[in-house]
A and B are shown apart, each in its own frame.
Chain A
Amino acid sequence: MTSAKIGKLAFQILITTVAVMGIVIGLLNCLPDFATYDSDTSLSEQSELARPSFWSQNRIFWINCLRQDFGASRVNTNYSVGEIIRRDSSVSISLFLLSMTISIIGGGFLGLFSAVRMGTRTEALISYAGLFISTLPTFLIVPLLIYFFSIRWNLLPSALWEGAKAMVLPTIALSVRPIFFLTRIFRDQLIKTSRSEFVLTAYAKGLRPASIWMVHILPNSLRIFVTASGNLFGQIVSSLFLVELLFALPGLGSLFVKSLMQRDYPLFLGVVLVFTLTLQIGHRLAEIINSFISREDKIDQEFVR
């Protein structure tokens, strides 16, 4: 990974973020009471008649961004947007990281397991479970979890973010679908790789199956797994705010919906910026990790030649 490549990735992230914010600001301009935060003019001056043009709205937004000043929330006027986002992001970040780790570990393990044990009853069970889970959207998983775990059996709290016990249900709700998504993709790729010719050669040489799986099949299937995990970023983020709303967690996701419903535009734009940057970085992260993996591929190919 050269510095030029990192620079190129950073440039891509920047361009996409600017474009996304442009789209969002453009869309919000359809609303009658939309106004961006501007430290030089008061809100009353930005009335319908004197609304600044689309370009100057964008310019003002990015200048404020560089100043790290998003203004005060329009609803909670005592707090600045930066303060609110900083306060609420800790819940979202920990929930996100928890479910990301669990889905990557769980998906990787289940995928590997069902590829190695292909054709057995356990593998069929995992596949059917995946099929069943894929028919349940997140907004159905949450009521089911709450009904069984906190109402019926009274095991876990059904809302708020207090103590380790409260983290269990939201994390499960977020990671159940990703786990089986990853399992399916990883399993298919592993099976595909295990049928290729160099694996047959390795078997013919008399290597042990365990070492063939660890040395030949697994590393050659990792690229797809990493790319799929990168796609998971978007999936988890888009179910994140639903899960936060339903479990009444004070996080960025519920902030996103609430700020839009309350027409709190400075706050909303700040949250959208955070989301966009996170997603962009997530996608590129998968690309960067893949470039490391594929470099090893290239070395292998040169060696073969």
Chain B
Amino acid sequence: MIILKRISILWLGSIVLGSILIHLGSLNISELVDAKNIFSLPGGAHWLGTDSMGRDLFFRILKGSGTSLLVAASSILISTILALVYGSVSGWFGGRVDWVLMVILDVWMSLPSSVLAIVIAMLLVRERDSLILVSVVIGLTHWGRLARIVRSEVEALRNREFVVATKIIGASNLQIMRSHLVPHLLAVVETFVIYQFPNYILAESFLSFVGLGVQPPNTSWGILIQDGWRSLQVFPHVVLAPALFLSITILSLKLLFLNAEKLSQ
């Protein structure tokens, strides 16, 4: 178990490091076109072969992993902030406010997230290359579950003695939220982020794969898989290489935070 965790840390670290180096490099290796070697097989000068334009697949994947991880991280940040605000308002004020907010949330969550993501992405992202917009779309479609957890947590905290005591002293709602609720909620947020981060990576690559996420001159795992999908019949390595990177990253994220008893969480 320990050795698996060490391997996953090593993998994640080298991916992050590699993508940072690629982004920092003044020479843009991932965009270099080797026109004589279109679709060359793995091995030789190009470690993982080249894609349809003769660009080195290994460097493309490294660059794409940076984008994918960045978008996933910023979208999880967006949905955490959204869920914290929404959930604590709903749980803190209770009563009619709570009812209305929860009905709205129910309606929002009754649409499947990928359908919702496609509709919003159609409106926001299409043919505009902006990583922030992609993150907003993913953040907007995935915050519901955390909001529900935060709400029930705040509702449970609201009537605890120390919160009531603070209220009696005369602290304002905002002060109580900042000094008492937020520290308690951090643990909840932490578990959510740890367990949901792989899903955010998958959401990003799904959107990019459909063509509504990161836009082509830029690259991410979804874009690379979409690119290889067209030449699957003849050159499967163009799909398999980014797919392998995506799967191993998600596997190592899951292994890293795995309890020995909860094997398949």
Contact = CB atoms under 8 A, between A and B. Distances in A.
Interface of A: 16, 19-20, 23-24, 27-28, 30-31, 124, 127-128, 130-132, 134-137, 139-140, 143-144, 146-147, 151, 180, 184, 234-235, 237-239, 241-242, 246, 256-257, 260-261, 272, 275-276, 279-280, 283
Given A131-B251, A143-B229, A260 B118 contact: yes
Contacts of B198: 135
A73 B159 CA distance: 56
Interface stretch (B61-69, B171-179, B231-239): B231-239
Contact of B264 (A16, A140, A147, A184): A184
Contacts of A128: 263-264
Contact of A180 (B115, B248, B254, B264): B264
30 contacts: A16-B107, A19-B107, A20-B107, A20-B110, A20-B111, A128-B263, A128-B264, A131-B251, A131-B254, A131-B264, A134-B264, A135-B198, A135-B246, A137-B206, A139-B205, A140-B246, A143-B228, A143-B236, A147-B232, A151-B232, A151-B236, A180-B264, A184-B264, A235-B112, A237-B112, A238-B114, A246-B229, A261-B122, A275-B115, A279-B111
Interface of B: 106-108, 110-115, 118-120, 122-123, 198, 202, 205-206, 209-210, 222, 225, 228-229, 232-233, 236, 239, 243, 246-248, 250-251, 254, 263-265
B263 A131 contact: yes
Contacts of A132: 251
Contacts of B107: 16, 19-20, 23
Contact of A16 (B106, B120, B243): B106
Contact of A279 (B112, B118, B247, B254): B112
Given A139-B225, A140-B243, A238 B115 contact: yes
B112 A238 contact: yes
If over half of B's interface residues share one DSSP class (helix, strand or loop), that class is named, otherwise mixed; here it is helix
A156 to B, nearest CB: 15
A256 B263 contact: no
A143 B111 contact: no
Contact of B120 (A27, A130, A246, A272): A27
A32 B254 CA distance: 43
Contact of A24 (B106, B119, B247, B264): B119
A272 B110 CA distance: 12
**Of listed A132, A134, A147, A257, residue having the most chain B CB within 10 A:** A134
Contacts of B228: 143
A30 B264 contact: no
A19 B113 CA distance: 16
Contacts of A127: 263-264
Contacts of B209: 139
A174 B43 CA distance: 34
A244 to B, nearest CB: 13
Contacts of A30: 123
Nearest to A139: B209
Given A31-B123, A135-B250, A279-B112, A143 B225 contact: yes
Contacts of B247: 135-136, 140
B239 A143 contact: yes
Nearest to A24: B119
A273 to B, nearest CB: 12
A139 B206 contact: yes
Contacts of A272: 115
Nearest to B122: A260
Contacts of A28: 119, 123
